[in-house]
Amino acid sequence: MSDFPEGTVWLVGAGPGDPELLTRKAERLIGMATVVFHDALVGPGVLEMAAPGARLVHVGKRSGRHSKDQGTIDRLIVEAALAGERVVRLKGGDPAIFGRATEELDACHAAGVPVRICPGVTAASAAAASLGASLTLRGLARKLTFVTAHARAGEVLDLDWATLADPEATLAVYMGKAAATDVSRNLIAAGLPADTPVALVESASLPEERHFHTRLDLLPLVARTALGDGPALLLIGRALARGRTFVPRIDAAALGAPITAG
């Protein structure tokens, strides 16, 4: 295809995990690549779309477990393209949302390597779909804010809490499991009501997906006791009070009861 000649790099969004949530373009590009550099969260069902003989190179990062530093990833991508390969850099979700796309784009541009982006379904959209909820709601949630709760070891989670504590917005917190206590404490201190609805979605769109409903002041408890090892997203805001038909409710009266998954 004319959009993927040899020596070209595509940053491709792999979506939240379910292969059926890939775009048709992403599937085509993966199938045309001669080498695929993929994240840790890209599942086997997506990688199986690669062409026979294509090299699959794991360059994933998980909290506290980095197989390759960003500079090395940039170098590998550029070297493969300069060697004449058709390169797919496969990223979970959407490459432009907390995907470190800028570093890889800059590396390609500096080396004179053609590079383009194929967007993907981001985890917040997949999580809301699984919950049967809308991220926005007319008259109630007029804004949608994406933030990442990932901080380097030893660093304080430095966010504009006063702006994020907006009762008329939905807040999607990526990589929020470890920071649940800080998120809860700081949002309440900034004025967001303690009973603001929160949904926690672990492994969104995958067969092992689990989700829980709680409120902002109980968020640390639920994150600590209910979530497992999968990637977790926090959705916070009044819009999350809707679409709760099959999602368990966790409130102060239920603290002594077992927590069950939806």
Q: 177 catalytic, yes or no?
A: no
3-state secondary structure at position 95: coil
Q: How far apart are CA 30 and CA 25, in angstroms?
A: 9
What 3 state SS string does 112-173 have? Answer: CCCEEEECCCCHHHHHHHHHCCCCCECCCECEEEEEECCCCCCCCCCCCHHHHCCCCEEEEE
3-state secondary structure at position 211: strand
Q: 143 catalytic, yes or no?
A: no
Q: How far apart are CA 244 and CA 262, in angstroms?
A: 10
Q: 94 catalytic, yes or no?
A: no
Q: How far apart are CA 69 and CA 16, in angstroms?
A: 22
Q: How far apart are CA 246 and CA 262, in angstroms?
A: 6
Nearest to 180 by CA among 223, 240, 120, 127: 223
Count other Cβ atoms within 10 Å, centred on residue 19: 18
Active-site pick, 39, 74, 94, 217? 39
Active-site pick, 61, 68, 182, 195? 61
Inter-residue contact 37 to 87 (CB < 8 Å):
yes
Q: Where are the beta strands (DSSP E) in 14-98?
A: 35-38, 55-58, 61-62, 65-66, 87-91
Active-site pick, 18, 166, 175, 217? 175
Work out whether strand 115-118 and strand 9-13 pair parallel, antiparallel, or are unpaired. Answer: parallel
Positions annotated as catalytic residues are: 39, 61, 175
